[in-house]
Amino acid sequence: MEKIRIFDTTLRDGEQSPGASMNLDEKIRLARQLERLNVDVIEAGFPSSSPGDFESVKRISQEIRGPQIAGLSRTTPGDIDRAWEALRYAQNPLLHIFIATSDIHLQHKLRKSREEVMEEAGRAVAYAKRFTGQVEFSAEDATRSDPDYLARVVQAAIDAGATIVNIPDTVGYTTPTEYGKLIAGLRQRVPNIQKAVLSVHCHNDLGMAVANSLAAVENGARQVECTVNGIGERAGNASMEEIVMALKTRRDFFSYDVGVVTELIYPTSRLLSSITGILVPPNKAIVGANAFAHEAGIHQDGVLKEKTTYEIMRPESVGISQSTLVLGKHSGRHAFRERIKTLGYELSEGHLNQAFQRFKEVADKKKQVFDEDLEAIIADEILRIPDLYKLVNLNVVSGSVTVPTATVQIEFAGKLYQEASFGDGPVDAAYKTIAKITKTKSRLLKFSVNAITGGTDAQGEVMVILEEGGIRVTGQGAHTDIILAAAKAYVNGLNKLEYQKRIKGV
């Protein structure tokens, strides 16, 4: 199979995404991950744009030895010198030269004629060839350029020594059919096109970056420029993970190979997200939280019987441990039964029906039903957990100049117990006092508050997750006094925890 080169520009074009700037150490961390991912090219930055970019390209050139390292440059000799100064340490450097070729850019940005730009492109490539045999030329805004003029510029760049020519859809303007025809047309129009690799670089302004890139591959492009999670200017770039998995999954259609270690795709996505703080949307293809999640009952039933009914890729192939059956209002009995078994419960058909009915009621109120919710349903509907602890009274003193203090009365085994404690806040003081009375060894894993109604008199609902000895339970409490709601949730969770410990012999 012919190979499609993956040119990763996360560290250059991706970093231009608003809010995605990375410091030097973060760039090095991501570059090392891209090296493990085995992309073909890492575009490390634009050396002349800032001292920070220069230093990151230099460090990456010194430390990364697998992929080819590219640095971007305008067509001026000073820019090219600066780029080479940073790139010269690379084992396999690639000087990436660009200039715009559309009339819009020529008239309003460059203020140069077509002939001037074509001559400048040739001179810049020839100048760059003095430093390295590997030079890429990009015709910025190629998809809005005159096709005949674009062909002439590409020919001039190859004549000057360009080994890669890139045809960017800089503003995400083109469509797959149109872009495919442009790439095919260049292969016909440019007589020396076989001397260079055709590359494509697509933006996602109209949501077609991946489709356009794949259309270009069908028509002769052999390098795709893309970014992790599709980050980049404006609406972003073509998504690396989508390009790679499309080529991998549909080899029957594309018949090309890629060298990316796909099992590292998800960890790479997570690393970038943690560095930049830009979260991946749940419905994002390949790496989104819902990419391998199923909620619809029909889908869940199919996946439980045979995964390929609704999964065209194995989650493990991109580094996700397994697909998930998300329990919600669309889920069916089959998925519910399997999840109950996974949690370790063996219910009779009658109890299962009873629990399933209650699950549907809960699912209508919540977007997603978690394992802790299921255990609460079973405990409340089937097992009928008795209250070991009963909250009798709560008094809290708190304020800006007062140390928060809580006094709590709890009834336990027919006796009334009272304690008081200080805390960092009113809830912390209350929880410390309750823990002192009950002598619990549990850990509070989660604490969340939601307003059930609107207004200043809204009833608040508190949910806590407690864990002890591998047993995890959910406690819930509601009241217009949020501190009291929090205390009720904690006591409710402790009652469930003690019950689970007894039935499991802990």
pLDDT tens for each residue of 384-401? 566 899 999 999 999 988
CA proximity to 479, closest of 464, 459, 452: 459
Q: What is the pLDDT of residue 407?
A: 97
- Average per-residue pLDDT in the chain? 88
Does 216 have pLDDT greater than 70? Answer: yes
Determine which helix (DSSP H) or strand (DSSP E) holds 346, and give its type and residue range.
none
**Residue 302: enclosing H or E segment and its boundaries?**
helix 297-305
Is the per-residue pLDDT at 366 higher than 70? no
**237 shares its domain with 327:** no
pLDDT at 361 over 80: no
Residue 282 lies in a domain: no
- Which pLDDT score, from 0 to 100, does residue 314 have? 79
Domain co-membership, 272 together with 315: no
pLDDT at 253 over 70: yes
Residues contacting 268, CB < 8 A, separation 6+: 33, 34, 37, 228
Segments of 282-441 assigned E as strands: 293-294, 324-325, 389-399, 402-412, 415-422
| 470 domain-assigned | yes
Residue 366: give the domain boundaries.
293-383
Range of 22-36, 350-364, 371-385, 455-469 with top mean pLDDT: 22-36
User: Which CATH number covers residue 236?
Assistant: 3.20.20.70
Do both 371 and 410 map to the same domain?
A: no
- Is the pLDDT at 420 greater than 60? The verdict is yes
Same domain, 198 and 243: yes
User: Would you state the pLDDT for residue 316?
Assistant: 83
Question: pLDDT grade, residue 125 (50/70/90)?
Answer: very high
Q: Which carries the bigger pLDDT value, residue 314 or residue 217?
A: 217
Looking at residue 250, its pLDDT comes to: 94
State residue 456's pLDDT score. Answer: 57
In whole angstroms, give the CA distance from residue 129 to residue 256.
30
Which of 324, 352, 383 is the last residue in one of the domains?
Answer: 383
Distances (CA, A) of 35 to 267, 274, 316, 359: 13, 18, 20, 46
Q: Say yes or no: 145 and 69 in one domain.
A: yes
Is-contact 327 368, C-beta < 8 A?
yes
At residue 297 the predicted structure's pLDDT band, cuts being 50, 70 and 90, is: low
What is the rounded average pLDDT of the residues 235-248? 96
pLDDT confidence of residue 371: 64
The last residue of one of the domains, among 322, 348, 383, is: 383
HSE on the CB side for 112, CA within 13 Å? 14
193 and 68 share one domain: yes
Last residue of a domain, one of 248, 276, 304: 276
Residue 503 has pLDDT above 90, yes or no: no
Residue 168 confidence (pLDDT):
98
Is a pLDDT exceeding 90 seen at residue 106?
yes
Q: What are phi and psi of 189, to 5 degrees?
A: -80, -35
Looking up residue 401, the CATH number of its domain turns out to be 3.30.160.270
Q: Are residues 252 and 330 in the same domain?
A: no
Instruction: Compute the distance between CA of residue 301 and CA of residue 306 in angstroms, rounded to an integer.
Output: 9
pLDDT at position 22: 85
Instruction: Identify the pLDDT of residue 319.
Output: 84
Backbone angles phi, psi at 18, to 5 degrees: -55, 125
Q: Render pLDDT for 83-92 as a digit per residue (tens, 0 to 9).
A: 999 999 999 9
Does some domain include residue 237? yes
Alpha-carbon distance of 472 to 467, in angstroms, equals: 4
Question: Does 288 reside within a domain?
Answer: no
What is the average per-residue pLDDT within 481-493? Answer: 92
**Does 367 have pLDDT greater than 80?**
no
Cα 408 to Cα 121, 215, 438, 487: the distances in Å are 79, 68, 11, 9
**Mean pLDDT across 470-493:** 87
Domain count, the chain: 3
In the predicted structure, residue 431 carries a pLDDT above the cut 70: yes
pLDDT tens string 299-340 = 666 655 776 776 768 778 888 765 555 566 667 777 777 777
* Per-residue confidence band for 254, with pLDDT thresholds at 50, 70 and 90: very high
Residue 421 has pLDDT above 60, yes or no: yes
429 found inside a domain = yes
Q: Decide if pLDDT at 423 tops 80.
A: yes
Same domain for 377 and 351, yes or no, is yes
Report the C-alpha gap between 11 and 17 in whole angstroms.
10
Which residue bears the tokens 């007589």?
191
Reported as a pLDDT band with limits 50, 70 and 90, residue 473 is: confident
* pLDDT(293) > 80: no
Residue 458: pLDDT band with limits 50, 70, 90: low
- Residue 354 falls inside a structural domain: yes
| The length of the chain, given as a count of residues | 506
pLDDT attached to residue 457:
53
On whether both 191 and 297 belong to a single domain, the answer is no
pLDDT at 362: 74
**Are residues 319 and 216 both part of a single domain?**
no
CB 29 within 8 A of CB 271: yes
**pLDDT score of 281:** 85
pTM of the shown model: 0.68
287 lies in a domain? no
Q: Residue 375 — very low, low, confident or very high, per pLDDT cuts 50/70/90? A: low
Residues 34 and 164 in one domain: yes
* 114 Cβ contact partners less than 8 Å away, ≥ 6 residues apart: 103, 106, 149
Q: Quick check: is 286 in a domain?
A: no
- pLDDT for residue 325: 52
**Count of beta carbons in the 10 Å neighbourhood of residue 115:** 10
Closest CA to 126 of 157, 84, 93, 92: 157
Is a pLDDT exceeding 70 seen at residue 453? no
Check if the beta carbon of residue 106 is closer than 8 Å to that of residue 113: yes
Domain check: are 321 and 218 in the same one? no
